[in-house]
């Protein structure tokens, strides 16, 4: 009998479509080379022991007795809790986690952890779960156990995205299509050095503002507001009008980005990145001065088509679109210039070193 199972799941960078997933809208993530890897060994009884290279100390709990502690272990406890709620029978196990996805950088270390652990559990206990179901279980754990009210993008990306392609996902229907990345461009991902935590309140506040805007407009979700209705948004009190305008225009930008990708029109795609960043900064208010500086430094590079904050915001990483073959050179130039001007310690993550 096989007693040990290995599994992995990647981090992701969202090309465009930010804060649209919990509004029923469109997103366009692609995996990054950095991954979370787990090794699961079945144990005895109901005990779960977890050790992560990225956490200060090992921890343990009993299946069926999951209780939020307010730290990293909640992501694992939340998964076995969600599996239990869904009627799956597990037995105790030991889990070893290691990851090179930076934590709290908007590159979805949380979903990489969730999907890697779920894949290992699925294999070890021969559970009948497809990849979309894994994504839903990860989201359930994060929403209802950890308390971060994220949408489904990150878990779908970690579970279903393929390297070299973007996952164009309708987060309402969960219909998706993989679109090859444009041959005429290189992607660059740089962590600004400023970390966020989405379990913190700001992300949940934005989500509540979007729900309030949708209800004031009399629609189930902001997905249901068409770009032709932008005039109505101006009548909403602030900040609700601005928040809604970001979501409605961002959904439209995802659809335009898909057309640009398919046409290999990287100049247009870069322009959409720039517009998306301005909308996140001015209408959605999820950027910070360091990230704005990093985007400005990137856009000033002559080999760059555009740049934007990626992920939930309040710090984290930027995604930059550069001319094909120029990604490494431009990435190094931008990282160096930003470090000098900001005093932060940025990391060039893509192209990977």
Can you give the binding site for ligand ADP, defined by CB under 6 A? 36, 52, 54-55, 72, 75, 97, 99, 103-110, 113, 197-199, 311
- Residue 150 CA to residue 159 CA, distance in Å, equals 16
Residue 109 CB, shortest distance to ligand ADP, in Å, is 3
For ligand ADP, the closer CB: 56 or 237: 56
String marking each residue 52-91 x if it binds Mg ion according to CB under 5 A: ----------------------------------------
String of b and e for 229-244 (b: at least 16 CB within 10 Å)?
eeebbeebeebbbbbb
Residue 72 CB, shortest distance to ligand ADP, in Å, is 3
29 binds, among Mg ion, ligand ADP, none (CB under 5 to 8 A by kind): none
Q: Which of 20, 30, 80, 110 binds Mg ion (CB under 5 A)?
A: 110
- How many residues contact Mg ion, by CB under 5 A? 2
Residue 10 CB, shortest distance to ligand ADP, in Å, is 12
Residue 46 CB, shortest distance to Mg ion, in Å, is 28
Q: How many residues does the chain have?
A: 353
Q: Which stretch in 15-23, 64-72, 105-113, 263-271 sits in contact with Mg ion by CB under 5 A? A: 105-113
Residue 268 CB, shortest distance to ligand ADP, in Å, is 28
For ligand ADP, the closer CB: 5 or 242: 5
Q: Which stretch in 74-82, 103-111, 277-285, 325-333 sits in contact with Mg ion by CB under 5 A? A: 103-111
23 binds, among Mg ion, ligand ADP, none (CB under 5 to 8 A by kind): none
From the candidates 53, 74, 100, 154, give the one annotated as an active-site residue: 154
For Mg ion, the closer CB: 139 or 342: 139
20 binds, among ligand ADP, Mg ion, none (CB under 5 to 8 A by kind): none
3-state helix/strand/coil string of the chain? CCCEEEEEEEEEEECCCCCCHHHCCEECEEEEEEEEEEEEEECCCCEEEEEECCCCCCEEEECCCCCCCCCCHHHHHHHHHHHHHCCCCCCCEEEEEEECCCCCCCCCHHHHHHHHHHHHHHHHCCCCCCHHHHHHHHHHHHHHHHCCCCCCHHHHHHHHCCCCEEEEEECCCCCEEEEECCCCEEEEEEECCCCCCCCCHHHHHHHHHHHHHHHHHCCCCHHHCCHHHHHHHCCCCCCHHHHHHHHHHHHHHHHHHHHHHHCCCHHHHHHHHHHHHHHHHHCCCCCCHHHHHHHHHHHCCCCEEEEEECCCCCCCEEEEEEECCCHHHHHHHHHHHHHHHHCCCCEEEECCC
- Whether 154 is catalytic: yes
Residue 97 CB, shortest distance to ligand ADP, in Å, is 5
106 binds, among ligand ADP, Mg ion, none (CB under 5 to 8 A by kind): ligand ADP
Active site residues: 154
Using CB under 5 A, list all residues that contact Mg ion.
108, 110
């Amino acid at each position: 009998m096989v007693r040990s199972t290995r599994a992995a799941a990647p981090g992701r960078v969202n090309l465009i479509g930010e804060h649209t997933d919990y509004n029923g809208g469109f997103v366009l993530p692609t995996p990054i080379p950095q991954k979370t890897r787990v090794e699961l060994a079945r144990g005895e009884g109901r005990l779960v022991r977890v050790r992560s290279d990225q956490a200060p100390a090992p921890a343990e709990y009993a299946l069926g007795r999951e209780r939020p502690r307010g730290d990293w272990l909640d992501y694992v406890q939340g998964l076995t809790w969600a599996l239990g709620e869904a009627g799956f029978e597990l037995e105790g196990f030991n889990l070893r986690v290691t990851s090179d996805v930076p934590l709290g950088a908007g590159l979805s270390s949380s979903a990489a952890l969730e999907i890697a652990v779920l894949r290992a559990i699925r294999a070890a206990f021969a559970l009948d779960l497809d990849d979309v179901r894994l994504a839903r279980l990860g989201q359930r754990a994060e929403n209802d156990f950890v308390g971060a009210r994220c949408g489904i993008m990150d878990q779908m990306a970690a579970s279903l995205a393929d390297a070299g392609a973007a996952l164009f996902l309708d987060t309402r229907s969960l219909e998706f299509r993989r679109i090859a990345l444009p041959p005429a461009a290189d992607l660059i991902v740089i962590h600004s050095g400023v970390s966020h935590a989405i379990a913190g309140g700001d992300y949940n506040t934005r989500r509540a503002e979007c729900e309030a805007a949708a209800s004031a407009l009399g629609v189930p979700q902001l997905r249901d507001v068409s770009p032709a209705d932008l005039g109505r948004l101006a009548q909403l009190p602030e900040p609700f009008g601005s928040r809604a305008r970001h979501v409605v225009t961002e959904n439209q930008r995802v659809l335009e980005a898909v057309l640009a990708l398919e046409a290999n029109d990287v100049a247009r795609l870069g322009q959409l990145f720039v517009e998306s960043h301005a909308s996140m900064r001015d209408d959605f208010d999820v950027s910070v001065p360091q990230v704005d500086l990093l985007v400005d430094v990137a856009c000033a590079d002559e080999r760059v088509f555009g740049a934007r904050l990626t992920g939930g915001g309040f710090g984290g990483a930027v995604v930059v679109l550069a001319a094909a073959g120029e990604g490494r050179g431009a990435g190094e130039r931008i990282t160096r210039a930003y470090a000098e001007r900001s005093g932060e310690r940025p990391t060039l993550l893509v192209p990977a070193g």
